[in-house]
Amino acid sequence: MLLLFVTAACIGLTAGFVAERQSALNPNMPTIVVDAGHGGIDNGVTGINSGTDEADINLSIAKHLKGLFTSAGFNCVMTRTTQSGLYGTTAPGFKRRDMEARKKVITECSADMVISVHQNYCPLPSRRGATVFYSQESDSGKQLATAMQKELNSLYGGRENSVLRGDYYMLRCTKSPSVIVESGFLSNSEDDALLNDQEFREKIAYAIFKGAINYLSGNV
């Protein structure tokens, strides 16, 4: 009986939290979902020299992004705000549950744009810079990705990395433009060092933000 009560109280709290989060949204402004990839027992990839977990870098950049969008008056909802994953328990199927929880956030706030933040890793240690992925079924996703890629390339000293099509779950959660930003290669020593620098993370966030603003203002 006590267990039932506690479970009911938890569900009530969760429902209340979601309702509160949605009611705080300004209906006159676009809602941006910023999704920090991985978390909890899923660390993602790790820095070749630093040993830093991708999950932590993603969260740090995502928090800077949230600050930028919020300061500019946008509604900004993060899929995760702590180092924990979204899967509940670590029982088998946790990765699927984690992905579904992210989709739930996107659906419940009727996201107008989704930005997933990740870091790349490649057996070829010379690969550097950012790569932005989009769904091939989404023209708007490609435009958004292209706008962000341009800003990120200039941040990396004028690299010419191209946007890429990707068939990923996070790109198919909504019809709104969605991108996955792999903001650098943790398999490359120089990128690894940069991605461990707070100032550079802020610059990455600003490049992503600027790309989003350029896309939204038709400046692409």
* Residue 81 CB neighbours (<10 A): 14
Q: 90-104 burial, b if ≥16 CB within 10 A, otherwise e?
A: eeeebeebbbeebbe
Does an H or E element contain 77, and which?
strand 75-78
Query: Which residues 109-128 are close enough to bind Zn ion by CB under 5 A?
Result: 118
Three-state secondary structure call for residue 192: helix
At closest approach, how far in Å is the CB of 21 from Zn ion? Answer: 25
Contacts of 62 (CB under 8 A, 6+ apart): 34, 35, 36, 78, 117
Q: Of the candidates 219, 218, 216, 176, which has an alpha carbon nearest to the alpha carbon of residue 73?
A: 216
Return the structure tokens found at 156: 């990396």
Return the structure tokens found at 107: 């659906």
Q: Which of 44, 47, 129, 211 binds Zn ion (CB under 5 A)?
A: 44
Residue pair 103/33 in contact by the 8 Å Cβ criterion: no
In terms of CB distance, is 66 or 118 closer to Zn ion?
Answer: 118
In terms of CB distance, is 84 or 154 closer to Zn ion?
Answer: 84
At closest approach, how far in Å is the CB of 44 from Zn ion? Answer: 4
At closest approach, how far in Å is the CB of 219 from Zn ion? Answer: 29
Query: Tokens 């060092």 label which residue?
Result: 193
Based on the shown chain and the rule CB under 5 A, indicate whether residue 39 belongs to the binding site for Zn ion.
no
In terms of CB distance, is 44 or 47 closer to Zn ion?
Answer: 44
Residue nearest Zn ion (C-beta atom): 118
Contacts of 16 (CB under 8 A, 6+ apart): none
Contact range with Zn ion by CB under 5 A, out of 34-42, 79-87, 156-164, 168-176: 34-42
Based on the shown chain and the rule CB under 5 A, indicate whether residue 166 belongs to the binding site for Zn ion.
no
At closest approach, how far in Å is the CB of 147 from Zn ion? Answer: 21
Based on the shown chain and the rule CB under 5 A, indicate whether residue 37 belongs to the binding site for Zn ion.
yes
Contact range with Zn ion by CB under 5 A, out of 40-48, 64-72, 74-82, 130-138: 40-48
At closest approach, how far in Å is the CB of 121 from Zn ion? Answer: 8
Contact range with Zn ion by CB under 5 A, out of 29-37, 61-69, 126-134, 161-169: 29-37
Point out which residues bind Zn ion (CB under 5 A): 37, 44, 118
